[in-house]
Amino acid sequence: MRGVVMHGPRDVRVEERADPTIEQPTDAVIRVAAACICGSDLWPYRGTDAVTRPTPMGHEYVGVVERIGDELTGVKVGDFVVGSFFASDNTCEICRAGYQSRCVHAFPMGALGTQAEKLRVPMADGTLVVVPGTPNSKQVRSLLAASDVLGTGWFAAVAAEAGPGKTVAVVGDGAVGLLGVLAADQLGAERIIAMSRHADRQALARRYGATDIVEERGDAGVQRIKELTDGLGAHSVIEAVGTQESMMQAIRATRPGGHVGYVGVSHEVELPGEELFFSGVHLHGGPAPVRRFLPDLIASIMSDELDAGAVFDLTLPLSEAAEGYRAMDERRAVKVLLETENA
Amino acid sequence: MRGVVMHGPRDVRVEERADPTIEQPTDAVIRVAAACICGSDLWPYRGTDAVTRPTPMGHEYVGVVERIGDELTGVKVGDFVVGSFFASDNTCEICRAGYQSRCVHAFPMGALGTQAEKLRVPMADGTLVVVPGTPNSKQVRSLLAASDVLGTGWFAAVAAEAGPGKTVAVVGDGAVGLLGVLAADQLGAERIIAMSRHADRQALARRYGATDIVEERGDAGVQRIKELTDGLGAHSVIEAVGTQESMMQAIRATRPGGHVGYVGVSHEVELPGEELFFSGVHLHGGPAPVRRFLPDLIASIMSDELDAGAVFDLTLPLSEAAEGYRAMDERRAVKVLLETENA
């Protein structure tokens, strides 16, 4: 099969990889209908994270079950399925508490590389959620978003306790931040402040429910959030970047007793204990337990209530993955969808 | 009046200070019945926090209202009252959300120095809670604990979401940690692991509801908590120290999706963003909004359900405050109560 392999910074190739097989009786093999490029894939692409050997890429996927291991009971050949970027048994105590991304048997799908024609899915009964019926092409795009960016934005909004009566600020205007806006809106937030200085992203944020746009960043951005909230700060802040500046911006924009939901993968972040202590905020985040939200998200997508797929503003065949990476790196695209020939 | 003044590290004197007066129509002046020495008073005592001028000390207090400003309606002369270490209006949006320690008009009582015979209390209608009836001497001790250490331990337990079915670990065996054990027990925690290597503190922890004692610290302490919790970590961890080691011990002892309630005043703490991100814990803490809990705590104390005063293992007259500081510094005492002649 064909699959995306990163050989080093800015060196992405689509090449022949071994077809995946059933290795464990709890595995499934799926034909990937669509995969995509994640903001976090840019860390190694840009050389921030080291690439020490040719690395299969991608951790987002939707597709059709092609083969199943002997022990599977929840999925069958032909099912259209969605999974998250961590495989999980969905039965351990941590999974049952809703933290499937930290399942005691958690397995990172990125290690298998989902930007490919086929994919082995471990613990498929726990990992995969079957889509009822056959999704149309627009629904496929939203289901693919649910695999990571929608699920992650949703988790961030839940972690930030977005809800009725709340003012929610969103730091980061990538796909996760934009879908955090959508999630906050769906969760009933009264006011949603998107922090963005890009007209196209501002437009999508407004379409997803943003009531205010703040273009300033850092301390100036915090100042604007304070001005918009009677000097108190937002009740809820979604952090979807992962840098020192964005984390401090999120913490400082939150009122005492408010909630920060942070999902940007931390890179060289050090949180000053004393400032955090006196801020009085709640801090929760990490790798989103997307699996927790998948059943509800799939239901909303299949009833056309959530157009999460609108974050994909560039669609390419898998064979042109390298151009997809370039487009995201150069911020010509928010989020790139890669279609296989299975699609 | 007489009051405690710190002149420099290890230089604590009881000397004549000006009698407090009504400065604002929302002030009350109280005759302090009892005050106490806080673990946080040891930071300047030990020179960790600078003492740049003679500083009145203390922020915990109970007493009887002696005089009131013209605008007060909630307290009257003769009332026995308890307040917390932050004066607060109890009417602003932050107060109403339960974060009175971050009231938009918050005033730190430590700036007035409560280790004294009399005390001015700003925003007394908001700050003070009237005790119904006349407390007996044992109740007075528990009410004084409610002013800070009990309220702080309670907040930590609430922030850590201690409750039925939960395993709670407590880092720190000072008064706040011990009362965090008491709070976790009162909140219905199933199992409470106190981390302490001092026999007397272990005994009080057990009396307050600890089911397990862990003597190890740091990584070894984390390892023991994991062993006691099927390898997962505690659901809830109370951090009541404020150092880098204690914070990391608390975070690492918490299972993914679990809650850390941290109330030790942070000193030179830097939280590594990446580790925090992947830990998946909830982090909440800061200066405890003790005022939120005072009405319930007072009711429990006056019905003799909470013997929080047992944390005071040394009682001295105010005049011997210097010995009290020494005893706490040398860990001869957990918590020192200072009695005035008003008592």
B167: number of Cβ within 10 Å:
25
Query: Which residues neighbour B33 within 8 Å (Cβ) at sequence distance 6 or greater?
Result: B62, B63, B64, B80, B140, B339, B340, B342, B343
- Show residues of chain B in contact with A283, CB under 8 Å: 276, 282-284
Q: How many angstroms separate the CA of residue B134 from the nearest CA in chain A? A: 34
Nearest to A97 among B102, B257, B273 (CB): B257
- Show residues of chain A in contact with B231, CB under 8 Å: 104
* Residues linked to residue B62 through DSSP beta bridges, in sequence order: B34, B82
The complex scores an ipTM of 0.95
d(CA A279, CA A148): 30
Q: How many angstroms separate the CA of residue B190 from the nearest CA in chain A? A: 16
d(CA A230, CA B115): 36
Nearest chain A residue to B99 by CA: give it: A257
pLDDT digits (tens, 9 = 90+) for A302-334: 999 999 999 999 999 999 999 999 999 999 999
- At CB < 8 A and 24+ separation, what contacts does B207-210 make? B207/B310, B208/B178, B208/B179, B208/B181, B208/B182, B209/B181, B209/B182, B209/B184, B209/B185, B210/B170, B210/B181
Are the C-beta atoms of residues A186 and A296 closer than 8 Å to each other? no
Are the C-beta atoms of residues B14 and B116 closer than 8 Å to each other? no
User: What is the pLDDT, as a whole number, of residue B156?
Assistant: 98
Largest CA distance in chain A: 60
Are the C-beta atoms of residues B228 and B213 closer than 8 Å to each other? no
Cα dihedral A302/A307/A312/A317 (nearest 10)? 30
Q: How many angstroms separate the CA of residue A6 from the nearest CA in chain B? A: 23
User: What is the pLDDT, as a whole number, of residue B343?
Assistant: 67
CB pairs below 8 Å between A and B: how many? 120
d(CA B35, CA A154): 48
- Show residues of chain A in contact with B270, CB under 8 Å: 270-273
Alpha-carbon distance values, B273 to A286, B186, B218, B276, B279 (Å) = 10, 33, 19, 5, 10
Nearest to A273 among B99, B231, B247 (CB): B247
Q: Is B230 left (phi over 0), alpha (psi -120 to 50) or beta?
A: left
Nearest chain B residue to A281 by CA: give it: B284
Residue of A276, A279, A290, A291 to mutate for B, most B C-beta atoms under 10 A: A276
d(CA A58, CA A48): 17
d(CA B297, CA B290): 10
Nearest to B283 among A247, A283, A289 (CB): A283
Q: What proportions of chain B, in percent to the nearest 5, are helix, strand and coil?
A: 35, 25, 40
For every residue of A256-296, DSSP letters joined together read EEEEEEE-SPPSS-EEEHHHHHHHT-EEEESS--HHHHHHH
d(CA A288, CA B212): 33
The HSE-up count of residue B242 (CA atoms within 13 Å, CB side) is 21
Nearest to B273 among A271, A281, A287 (CB): A271
What string of pLDDT tens digits covers the 343 residues of chain A? 999 999 999 999 999 999 999 999 999 999 999 999 998 899 999 998 899 999 999 999 999 999 999 999 999 999 999 999 999 999 999 999 999 999 999 999 999 999 999 999 999 999 999 999 999 999 999 999 999 999 999 999 999 999 999 999 999 999 999 999 999 999 999 999 999 999 999 999 999 999 999 999 999 999 999 999 999 999 999 999 999 999 999 999 999 999 999 999 888 999 999 999 999 999 999 999 999 999 999 999 999 999 999 999 999 999 999 999 999 999 999 999 999 987 6
- Nearest to residue A37, comparing CAs of A288, A221, A311? A311
Note whether A276 contacts B273, CB cutoff 8 Å.
no
d(CA A215, CA A196): 5
Nearest to A94 among B97, B232, B283 (CB): B232
- At CB < 8 A and 24+ separation, what contacts does B191-199 make? B191/B166, B191/B167, B191/B228, B192/B167, B192/B168, B193/B167, B193/B168, B193/B169, B193/B225, B193/B228, B193/B234, B194/B170, B195/B169, B195/B170, B195/B171, B195/B221, B195/B249, B197/B173, B198/B173, B198/B331
User: What is the pLDDT, as a whole number, of residue B267?
Assistant: 87
Q: Residue A188, class by beta-carbon neighbours within 10 Å (0-12 exposed, 13-18 middle, 19+ buried)?
A: exposed
Q: Is the dihedral of CA B298, B304, B308, B312 positive or negative?
A: positive
Looking at chain B from residue 12 to 71, which residues have their Cβ under 8 Å from any Cβ of chain A? none
Alpha-carbon distance values, A265 to A176, A185, B98 (Å) = 11, 23, 31
Phi and psi at residue A11, in whole multiples of 5°?
-120, 85
Residue of B249, B276, B281 to mutate for A, most A C-beta atoms under 10 A: B276
Are the C-beta atoms of residues B192 and B185 closer than 8 Å to each other? yes
Residue of B283, B290, B291, B292 to mutate for A, most A C-beta atoms under 10 A: B283
Alpha-carbon distance values, B42 to B57, B149, B324, B330 (Å) = 11, 15, 11, 10
Helices B137-146 and B149-159 pack at an angle, to 10 degrees, of 50
- Show residues of chain A in contact with B286, CB under 8 Å: 256, 276-281
DSSP class of A250: H
Nearest to A271 among B97, B270, B286 (CB): B270
d(CA B320, CA B5): 12
Pairing of strands A282-285, B282-285: antiparallel
pLDDT-flagged residues of chain B (< 70): 343
Nearest to A277 among B256, B279, B286 (CB): B286
A192: number of Cβ within 10 Å:
29
Q: How many angstroms separate the CA of residue B336 from the nearest CA in chain A? A: 25
The HSE-up count of residue B313 (CA atoms within 13 Å, CB side) is 15
DSSP class of B24: S
Amino acid at B96: R
pTM for the structure as a whole: 0.96
Q: How far apart are the first and last CA of chain A?
A: 15
d(CA B271, CA A269): 8
* Residues linked to residue B236 through DSSP beta bridges, in sequence order: B168, B259
For every residue of A189-239, DSSP letters joined together read BSEEEEE---HHHHHHHHHHT--EEE---HHHHHHHHHHTTTTS-EEEEEE
